[in-house]
Amino acid sequence: MRKWLENLMRGRYGVDHLGRFLTTSSLILLFVSLIVGSTAGRLLWYLAIASLVFAYYRVFSKNISKRYRENTQYLELKNRLFSWHSKNVTRFKQRKTHRFFRCPNCGITLRVPRGKGKIRVTCPRCKNRFVKKT
């Protein structure tokens, strides 16, 4: 059985992060389509089947460079979203002890302690100085 599977997948792209995401999301959509029913449920069902077909198409594809690019784009988008979310969660947790300002010159976000009154902030990137009230 294992030899047969190895021969089948030889020269194929296989499973990657995007494939796992598509498969998982299609299973979730199938489950939700069963609960919802009516026209919306049917639409979700078609979307889930299309996602599952595309996931299997990617697994058995021989165009490895194109599938690799698709996966890289997916991972870049995923990392951008997760880093944005974690940055905002960290900022929210520090909101009582720190203030966040943008440098008017280069736009970098700077963190300064709260409750120090008026302070002169020096940007570490462009060395621009500006005064802000904490």
Query: What pLDDT, in 10s, does the model give residues 52-84?
Result: 999 989 988 888 889 899 999 999 999 999 998
Do the bridges between strand 109-113 and strand 98-102 make them parallel or antiparallel, or are there none, so unpaired? antiparallel
DSSP helix, strand, coil percent of the chain (3-state; round to 5): 60, 15, 25
Q: Does residue 113 share a domain with residue 48?
A: no
Are 118 and 60 found together in one domain? Answer: no
Separation CA 117–CA 114 (nearest Å)? 8
Residue 46 pLDDT > 90: yes
Is pLDDT above 80 for 103? Answer: yes
Domain count across the chain: 2
Q: Tell me: do 66 and 128 sit in the same domain.
A: no
Are 134 and 99 a contacting pair, CB within 8 Å? Answer: yes
Tokens standing for 12? 């194929």
Over the chain, what is the mean pLDDT? 88
Report in angstroms the alpha-carbon separations of 76 from 58, 65, 111, 129.
18, 16, 26, 34
pLDDT for residue 122 is more than 80: yes
Please, are residues 128 and 104 in contact by the beta-carbon 8 Å criterion? yes
Say yes or no: 31 and 59 in one domain. Answer: yes
Q: Same domain, yes or no, for 57 and 89? A: yes
At 7, the pLDDT band (50, 70, 90 cuts) reads low
The two tokens of residue 16 are 């990657």
In this structure, are 30 and 78 located in the same domain?
Answer: yes
- Do 17 and 36 reside in the same domain of the chain? yes
Same structural domain, 55 and 71: yes
The first and second tokens of residue 59, run together, are: 């697994």
Question: How far is the C-alpha of 104 from the C-alpha of 35, rounded, in Å?
Answer: 52
**DSSP 8-state class, residue 100:** E
Tens of pLDDT, residue by residue over 26-43, are 999 999 998 987 888 899
**Which residue bears the tokens 């889930």?**
48
Q: Which structural domain, as residue segments, surrounds residue 70?
A: 2-93
